Structure 1
Amino acid sequence: MTAIEKGQARLVLAPEVGGAIAAFTVAGRDVLRPMADGAGDALFTSSFPLVPFCNRIPNGRFTFEGREVVLPPNLAGHPHTLHGQGWRAAWTIEKVTDGEAVLSYTHAPDAWPWAYRAEQRFVLSETGLRTELSVTNTSDAPMPAGLGFHPYFPRREGEALTAANDGVWLIDADVLPTIHHPGPWEADWAAGAPVEGHGLIDHCYTGWNQRAVLRAPGQPDTIVTASAECRWLHVYVPPGEAYYCVEPCASRPNPFGDGETGMVTLAPGESRSIWMKVQTR
């Protein structure tokens, strides 16, 4: 574990667990869900990076520029490969200074046949955290790339989420997108809606304006903002759990499916980056 501080803000990193955040507090309050004691899986951390794609690829199979790729499952009991390689790998600490840290991950070609280097830069302010995630294609052939963040937030009593959007991708039993539903569905996040009182929400919302507000009575707001590339917002609200996720993403689930998915092609040596801020007020 590695910790950095800035005033009352404190960030703890777990580079060995998918380059994840283990805790982020301001004035002793958990802004992100703290990592479970002894956890060795990024799913039980505070936040982890999605690189070089977001969410599920059906059965791990896709074709890119005539090349057939088959990725192994990376979640027990689930056939659809999730979130890339970064969250299942140890990262290297490159820099730790007052209020700032840099982690890196170098991927050698395997089932994902491209070499790349990913980097995370964390910068604390007195009341917030800015995280930048980048990926550079270090192979000798064009590589597809998508990026995202997977933060977990404590589910506070009476909490509501407000996030502009123009529709949502509905999902099947395997949590894969099926059809795009325009307008509100289940919870009208655009108008502001309670987090409690729904069935499973594990959906990708379109038309997001890169700002979300998490508000609970009598407590500071948590504000999530992101770079313009993060045009999709994935919201995960598991019934009965003490947390939920509000995930800025630059690509959508089934990133090699039909239509505009947000995936870009990086030439050898080319990079892509996004950022997210988590602020309290």
Structure 2
Amino acid sequence: MQAGGLEAAFSPAVGGSLRSLALDGVDLLRRAPDGATDPLAMASFPLVPYANRIADGRFSFAGQSYQLPLNFGDHPHSIHGFGWQTAWTASETAETAATLVHDHGGDAGWPWPYRAQQRVAVTPSQLSMSLSITNVGDADMLAGLGFHPYFLADAATMIQFDADDLWLSTPDMLPDRQAPADALGDWSRPTIVRGDTLVDNAYSGWNGSATIQRGDGLRLTLRATGADFLHVYRPPASGDFCLEPVSHMPDAINRGGMASLAPNDTVHLTMTIQIDKIDQTLPKSAGIA
């Protein structure tokens, strides 16, 4: 899809994933390699019917216990739902917009039938994505949503967002305890995102907006609705990082933090990425541990 100089490419068959997002030929998100078929190599992928981790793939709901498949190699937990590992269908396509659909009939992987839908649109300066899930079964079901975009980071790239606190993690990346939002770096002011330590944590009390200031003079503003949490994934010494708007924290299914949908009910989450060209004289970084 293309509008002016902004171009986005999708692979419905690879988890309904975004392959690339570029402005005037300059990549804004990590570009998938040619021919890549692994969702983890994409620029972004949808999280449905839940986001992030479920401890050991186990949970109980409505008096019944469930064991989900462990879907991430030797990782001990189920992760990111099922939409990212299944093919979607492009039900509508146009030069600047598309609709992708993922129908799940209910199985051992997730016992409840649902329909997930992504609506995507580009303007010359913005990518807009909405994600929804509808309970198409005859019993209540749990549901969560999110997006997993990989932003590029040069040495000067800074991020800024406001949140109330964050969840520190156990060694196997489950939420352990709450801490002040600046415990891993003060993101409330523009701060260099690259670093030598892992950040893989959920921030709560997020106001739905985050700003990325790049060294090349581009500013990306991420805005989301229906996302009570922002999950930040910053690998050590990496050229990319993730700001993931999600509807719930990791393992929320075992902590009373996921929505329950009655039959025919729908929940939505939206994400926009606005691109602006700014003066390349950027504020001095606050630094990060």
Place the TM-score, normalised by the shorter chain, in its bin.
over 0.9
Whole-Å separation in 2 of the counterparts to 1:231 and 1:117: 22
User: 1:85 and 2:82 equivalent?
Assistant: yes
Alignment TM-score, normalising by the size of structure 2: 0.93
Q: Which amino acid aligns with 2:200?
A: D
Gaps of 5+ in 2: 277-289
- Which residue of 254, 261, 265 maps to 1:266? 261
Secondary structure of the structure 2 residue equivalent to 1:47:
coil
Corresponding residue for 1:118? Answer: 116
Q: Which amino acid aligns with 1:191?
A: R
- Which residue of 153, 160, 163 maps to 1:162? 160
Whole-Å separation in 2 of the counterparts to 1:8 and 1:235: 28
- Which residue of 6, 18, 22 maps to 1:9? 6
Corresponding residue for 2:214? Answer: 216
Whole-Å separation in 2 of the counterparts to 1:48 and 1:205: 20
Whole-Å separation in 2 of the counterparts to 1:51 and 1:87: 8
Structure 1 residue 255, shift from structure 2 partner:
1.6
Corresponding residue for 2:96? Answer: 99
1:96-245 map, 5 Å: 96-111=93-108, 112-227=110-225, 229-245=226-242
Whole-Å separation in 1 of the counterparts to 2:208 and 2:196: 24
Give the alignment's Cα RMSD to 1 decimal.
1.1
- Given that 2:58 and 2:68 are in contact with CA atoms closer than 8 Å, whether structure 1 keeps it comes out as yes
Whole-Å separation in 2 of the counterparts to 1:199 and 1:157: 15
Structure 1 residue 120, shift from structure 2 partner:
0.3
Whole-Å separation in 1 of the counterparts to 2:177 and 2:100: 37
- Given that 1:52 and 1:85 are in contact with CA atoms closer than 8 Å, whether structure 2 keeps it comes out as yes
Q: Which amino acid aligns with 2:162?
A: A
Whole-Å separation in 1 of the counterparts to 2:52 and 2:216: 34
Whole-Å separation in 2 of the counterparts to 1:256 and 1:95: 33
Whole-Å separation in 2 of the counterparts to 1:174 and 1:41: 23
Change (3 A) 1:154 1:201: same
Whole-Å separation in 1 of the counterparts to 2:85 and 2:93: 22
Whole-Å separation in 1 of the counterparts to 2:227 and 2:34: 31
Structure 1 residue 218, shift from structure 2 partner:
3.8
% identical equivalent positions = 39
Q: Which amino acid aligns with 1:224?
A: L
Secondary structure of the structure 2 residue equivalent to 1:221:
strand
Corresponding residue for 1:64? Answer: 61
Corresponding residue for 1:251? Answer: 248
For 1:209-251, what per-residue CA distance to the aligned partner results, in whole angstroms no more than 9, with x for missing partners?
1110011234210110011x21100000001221100111111
Structure 1 residue 191, shift from structure 2 partner:
2.3
